């Protein structure tokens, strides 16, 4: 294990280290330590298929369940057996194996039954299934995904979880602005560099480079602008990434807010330990409103790192 750690830490590029030392300051080593830890497993009870009580009683026979403070359907799973995806209750769609930080964006979105919602980048469907459960399978969700290969997984997760209020589309998210549809809520769980999820795949470190960050941040801004465009007045858009890059997070929000007086960034009240959003990076000062965004790094709650911003349209 120790040897693996050493090998993996050698994967860290110089540019990455410099950048993340600036982001985390004295917490940089702690960030790395948690980024190399084995992820804690967790589930979210799918209330479309089973009750929290029923799932808890069944899984307690094998595992120890610990509630996730910010998601009442979420539990950390402890125990020797690692195959939580093989349990019959999983096959029956009674729970979804989901990283606890990734449960936050749908909660921040707050979808209600009978609303019209779009999940702009939906595969493999963890947040679509969560939104459908929050909507009690009522109203309508458009689950959009650009990557045809990822549609199969999205489709099978929706079926397994008994989701009945969702239409899958296979479009570029930025093309929705040309359509006449207007939504009550829009989720943009954007494609990102994934630097909050190094513990899940060390490939993230190998792939990381500054050009990729610039390219992603341009796409992310376009997705957010388009998502806001297709919102009804009074509607809510949530922008999230599992990246800890200011260029993919605070800077995207700051650029989006420029010259807009119809967008209000809202606080996200949640029982989760958080980092201070970054207000200045690489000589650029960001909009003060980014203070209201939720930024968490792995070392805060022993979860993936995530960034979430909730914006209301006036
Ligand atoms: N929301 C998903 C979930 O919780 O299961 C995870 C989404 S993942 C972070 C980002 C997704 O965006 C990927 O599946 C990727 O293929 C998709 N994507 C990338 N570019 C896109 C675009 N222009 N329009 C729509 N989806 C896009």
Q: How far is CA 80 from CA 16, 24, 254, in A?
A: 35, 34, 45
Tell me if 121 CB under 6 Å of ligand 1: yes
Q: What is the pLDDT along the chain (314 residues), one digit of tens a residue?
A: 344 455 467 789 999 999 999 999 999 999 999 999 999 999 999 999 999 999 999 999 999 999 999 999 999 999 988 899 999 999 999 999 999 999 999 999 999 999 999 999 999 999 999 999 999 999 999 999 999 999 999 999 999 999 999 999 999 999 998 888 999 999 999 999 999 999 998 889 999 999 999 999 999 999 999 999 999 999 999 999 999 999 999 999 999 999 999 999 999 999 999 999 999 999 999 999 999 999 999 999 999 999 999 999 99
| Mutation probe of ligand 1 site: the residue of 46, 102, 118, 123 with most atoms within 8 A of C-beta | 123
Tell me if 304 CB under 6 Å of ligand 1: no
Tell me if 122 CB under 6 Å of ligand 1: yes
- Tell me the pTM: 0.97
Distance 66 CA to ligand 1 centre (A): 30
Q: What is the pLDDT of residues 147-201, one digit of tens each?
A: 999 999 999 999 999 999 999 999 999 999 888 899 999 999 999 999 999 999 8
Q: Which residue CA neighbors atom 16 of ligand 1 most closely? A: 147
User: What does the longest C-alpha to C-alpha distance in the chain come to?
Assistant: 56
Distance 241 CA to ligand 1 centre (A): 10
* Residue position matching structure tokens 């388009």: 226
Taken in order of first residue, the domains within the chain and their CATH numbers are: 100-313 (3.40.50.150)
Tell me if 110 CB under 6 Å of ligand 1: no
Tell me if 289 CB under 6 Å of ligand 1: no
Q: Which residue CA neighbors atom 21 of ligand 1 most closely? A: 146
Tell me if 146 CB under 6 Å of ligand 1: yes
Q: Which residue CA neighbors atom 15 of ligand 1 most closely? A: 191
pLDDT at 8: 67
* Residue position matching structure tokens 């079926």: 159
């Amino acid at each position: 294990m120790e040897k693996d750690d050493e090998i993996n830490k050698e994967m860290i590029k110089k540019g990455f280290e410099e950048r993340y030392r600036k982001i985390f300051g004295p917490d940089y080593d702690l960030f790395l330590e948690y980024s190399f830890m084995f992820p804690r497993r967790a589930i979210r009870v799918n209330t479309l298929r089973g009750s929290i009580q029923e799932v808890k009683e069944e899984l307690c026979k094998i595992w120890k369940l610990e509630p996730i403070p910010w998601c009442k359907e979420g539990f950390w799973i402890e125990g020797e057996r690692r195959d939580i995806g093989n349990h019959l209750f999983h096959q029956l769609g009674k729970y979804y194996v989901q990283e606890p930080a990734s449960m936050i964006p749908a909660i921040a979105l707050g979808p209600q039954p009978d609303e019209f919602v779009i999940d702009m980048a939906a595969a493999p469907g963890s947040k679509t299934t969560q939104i459908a459960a929050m909507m009690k399978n009522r109203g309508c969700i458009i689950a959009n995904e650009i990557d045809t290969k990822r549609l199969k997984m999205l489709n099978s997760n929706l079926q397994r979880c008994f989701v009945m209020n969702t239409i899958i589309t296979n479009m570029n998210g930025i093309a929705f602005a040309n359509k006449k549809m207007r939504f009550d809520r829009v989720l943009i769980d954007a494609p990102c560099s994934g630097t909050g999820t190094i513990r899940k795949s060390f490939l993230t470190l190998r792939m990381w480079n500054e050009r990729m960050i610039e390219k992603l941040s341009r796409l992310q801004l376009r997705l957010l602008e388009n998502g806001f465009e297709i919102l009804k007045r009074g509607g809510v858009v949530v922008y999230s990434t599992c990246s800890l890059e200011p260029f993919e997070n605070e800077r995207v929000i700051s650029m989006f807010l420029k010259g807009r007086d119809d967008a209000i960034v809202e606080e996200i009240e949640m029982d989760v330990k958080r980092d201070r959003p970054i207000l200045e990076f690489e000589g650029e000062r960001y909009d003060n409103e980014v203070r209201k965004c939720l930024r968490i790094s792995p070392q805060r709650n022993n979860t993936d790192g995530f960034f979430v911003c909730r914006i209301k349209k006036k």
